[in-house]
Amino acid sequence: MGSKPADAAGSQQQQGDESSMADLYSSHELTPLQKHAAFFDRNKDGIIYPSETYQGLRAIGCGVVLSAAGTVFINGFLAPKTVPANVKPPAFKFPIYVKTIQQGKHGSDTDVYDTQGRFVPEKFEEIFKKHAHTRPDALTDKELGEMLKANRDPKDFAGRVGAFVEWRLLYALCKDKEGFLHKETVKAVYDGSVFEKLEREKKEAKEFAKKK
């Protein structure tokens, strides 16, 4: 019997890899970090391509330029780190794998996620104990900057940039009218539920505008 062409075999292997990635959502409970990332997996196949990252950023209220820049940074930074063992990612597509997203955990962060992507309550509470000086349940712009500075690893430039971008984006999208980033909002970031809330609010705002 003749062997299958290499490109056909490669295509079947890629389809098999993608199918196994999608099984993540039905096979077991996701970690908080996986839930956080899963918002951007718009078709729920277990893989986040740049187009999905862009769609997710637009869905939560980021502008076109910020979404495009964020997509380049996020997929460019995370894609190489999250490739599972024995999986060959498609060339030049920069896929982020939700199943192994914990491999993309960067330095200079709060350590609220452990190395397995699980939520660490003590580390979360530590953010506000150390840096929430004005109110015990919220951070100001200045206090957020203090936290970022305290977590910096001088030898980890990529981690520092990642932490800065993530937190500044969160602050810009979620601060209240008085400039406070609330504790409950920050907690909702860690399982991705804040993204769903932002997307829902944006859709409701559009529907309201249409009715005017």
Q: In this predicted model, what pLDDT tens digit does every residue of 184-204 receive, in sequence order?
A: 999 999 999 999 999 999 999
Over residues 34-58, the mean pLDDT reads 97
**Can you tell me the distance from the alpha carbon of 4 to that of 20, in angstroms, rounded to the nearest whole number?**
22
CA 13/CA 88 separation, integer angstroms: 9
Question: Residue 14 has what pLDDT?
Answer: 52
Question: Which helix (DSSP H) or strand (DSSP E) does residue 48 occupy?
Answer: strand 47-48
| pLDDT tier, 82 (very low <50, low <70, confident <90, very high otherwise) | very high
Q: Residue 12's pLDDT band (boundaries 50, 70, 90)?
A: very low
Using 50, 70 and 90 to split pLDDT, how confident is the model at 6?
very low
Mean pLDDT, the chain, as a whole number?
Answer: 91
The conformational region for residue 108 under phi > 0 = left, psi -120 to 50 = alpha, else beta, is left
Given a cut of 80, whether residue 71 has pLDDT beyond it is yes
- Cα 103–Cα 57–Cα 74 angle in degrees, nearest 5: 30
Query: Tell me, what's the pLDDT at 167?
Result: 97
Cβ neighbours for 33, distance < 8 A, ≥ 6 positions apart: 101, 102, 105, 113, 117, 118, 190
Instruction: Give the per-residue pLDDT at 89.
Output: 93
Comparing 41-45, 134-138, 208-212, which segment has the lowest mean pLDDT?
208-212
How far is the C-alpha of 134 from the C-alpha of 140, rounded, in Å? 8
Smallest CA-to-CA distance from 185 within 175, 177, 2 is with 175
Helix (H, G, I), strand (E, B) or coil at 28: coil
Look at residue 195 in the predicted model and tell me its pLDDT: 97
More confident residue, 103 or 154: 103
pLDDT of 131 > 80? The answer is: yes
Structure tokens at 50: 């740049």
Q: Is the pLDDT of residue 31 over 90?
A: yes
Token readout for 202 is 């944006």
pTM: 0.86
Residue 212 in this model has a pLDDT that exceeds 70:
yes
